Structure 1
Amino acid sequence: MQHLIPRIQTLAAEAAAETIALREHLHANPELSFQEFNTVAYVTKQLQELGLQTQPIANTGVVALIEGRNPSVRTVALRADMDALPITEQNEVAYKSTNPGVMHACGHDVHTSSLLGTARILTQLRDEFEGTVKLMFQPGEELLPGGASLMIKEGVLENPKPASVLGQHVFPRLPAGKIGVRAGRYMASTDELYLTVRGKGGHGAMPEQNIDPVLVAAHIIVAAQQIVSRRANPKLPSVLSFGKVIAQGATNVIPNEVYMEGTFRTLNEEWRNEAHEHLRRLCEGLAESMGATCELEIRRGYPYLENEPELTSRVEQAAIQYLGAENVVELDQWMAAEDFAYFSQAASACFYRLGTAAADGSGRYTSSVHTPTFDIDTKALETGPGLMAWLTLRELAEQPA
């Protein structure tokens, strides 16, 4: 099997210009979550030109199968997300977004074009593997309830059922040509918090006649931090942040209510549920003790992402074979969230990071994801497709029938 590495690397290099062109088209034509109508039509066309049959899923998603010899023996699934973000791009490049206020600032154009590149390679290697490769192009990663959850509900992990699921995500802190992996718990769950504190407004100079919701909200913001610092196991990462506070008063006006939004993230589902109850009791109880009321809505988001240890070990070893040990790094836990977590909760899964910073060490392409200046070194579009093709072949060969 290892004798295929030079051939895959050659195919990836030969396809690099086409993969870059695919990415630039996608980058110039971004679409928001669950609005990827033109994107999925474009992806579907590319897949059909490779001779693959496609199946729509989750409204703006698409699935295709690449069948090798004995296709029913085993299946490996590969996932790429396709949606963009509501960000106005500031890069001055030929492929700059043509949709005002919408940008591929999280690299989903890279994920999609890379998987199309992988598909191009694997369709040329059908005689070299047994089993089936399931290509999953997913909508709506950036918006609850997450396209992954919808695809799973519609049966994407059945008929055929994959033995493992692989996904990748851009990483601007890692040079192109390198990848990062981490076994076990890697990314956090995410929940959205919406609080309304109601009191009794009035003149700021006569606080004794009012119930000040601003003061109550301030106490809640401070007191809620003890849920992380005193309730959570210190060995278990947890984050509680409030990023939006609206009190429509004035210098001398106490408002009737204060509205707040925040997020809670952790890496354990049992503690996640427990923390929700702690937060609810704290908010309501503290408000009541100060004469106010508090309504808390917790919108449950993505679960935490767990990379199955044995699969991740195989991915790491295969990546070392393909890239060299110096180009495979160990990742730290990351408190961001990703709806690939749904796949990791439902199947044996591995989600790794693809380096996208300048490979020459110049410091270019290091803008964080979700910023208006995010961009990549195109060397990543040779590394990504080839590596995923090799990981797929290794996984198909090593999975039991």
Structure 2
Amino acid sequence: MQMVAVRYESRQGACPRNLRLRRAAMRYVLTHHFDPDFEQRRLRPKNREDGSVDQFDLGYVQNVAAGQLLAEWTPLAPGENAPDEAIVSENTAFPHGEGCKVDPDNPLRLLAAVNGHVARIDGRITVRETLAIGRDIDFHTGNIVALGDVIIGGDVRSGFTVMGRHVTVTGLVLAARVRAMGNVTCNGGIQGGGKATLRAGRSLRARFCENAVLHAAQNILIDGSAMHCRLFAGEKLAVKGRLAGGEAYCGEAVYVGEQLGGGGQSQTRILLGYDPERIHKDQHIKAGLRQALLDVEACRVDIGRGGEAAKECSALLAQGEQRVEAFRRQLKRLWESPAATRRFSSCRVIVPGRIGANVEISIGEAHSVIPEDTRDAVVRYQDGEIVVEHPALRK
């Protein structure tokens, strides 16, 4: 801002020509509300409150939500010195790139325009909706938690977590956790080792999956085979290759292109017609109920023996009985909603290929063990029973 000569006039006439007021140039300092010098190559494990170190949490990204304050210009008083290395200017235009906007109510404030991660790139404040990581998720990156989309260029290693709006993994997902508000895509497949859990707020797609738990509010699509998994699909499940071992819970329909079941001595169970997430919660509550009943029975045995242990177990018995009743109330509330079940008559299991041994299919309360070597069949519900018809797909 330049020196300004101000000329005053009045109703009586102009001021004398030599009467001028000079105003000093106003200076502003730029304050960042994130770490502008953040570098991922300088990541360090986070300290826990108990003094230990979390090797999985390195703080890989600086997340911001739309509308969040990123930076602001603060005026300096005349004669005031700015902090060392601060950005000082007479011009209040923000050095910003994509994903940012000037606050319409205050031009001295810069806000995030989208959900994403913020950084200073080439001197400009930038918010990007997509976080692209061109390597494995391991101890070099730590867990990834992002508000925007996430693209992983390598594998997600065992023990690590990736969370984002939509998540795409180019490599394998091992014994890890992946969660997305939208879609999850696993181009390399899933080798869960019995410990992988993937959850999609919309749909989930994988090249193949083994020994993993998959949840999708809408659809699950497996391009190859699904072996010994627990699959929860809110609407439809499609496996182009083989579905063998484990359990599948689906709201509407299951399609298996090549073979259903036949995985040695292991059983393949399919349940349709119920909300899969309610089934999952039901299993969790029943597991807690079983443990509570065992604890109550153990307390009763100790009380029956008498002695000092009996006195201690009296209080534990009361607590255990309260837990049992709490679990039973949870089960009752879980299935009271009318949305707990679907229309059984619209449910289908479609297998254009072969059905192998040890396949059990339930639709609602109806249950059936499908004969081995059944081919080109559709399994559906009719008048309270399971029926098998041919062909699987009608032209």
Please tell me the TM-score bracket, short chain as reference: under 0.3
Structure-2-length-normalised TM-score = 0.20
Of Structure 1 and Structure 2, the greater helix share is in 1
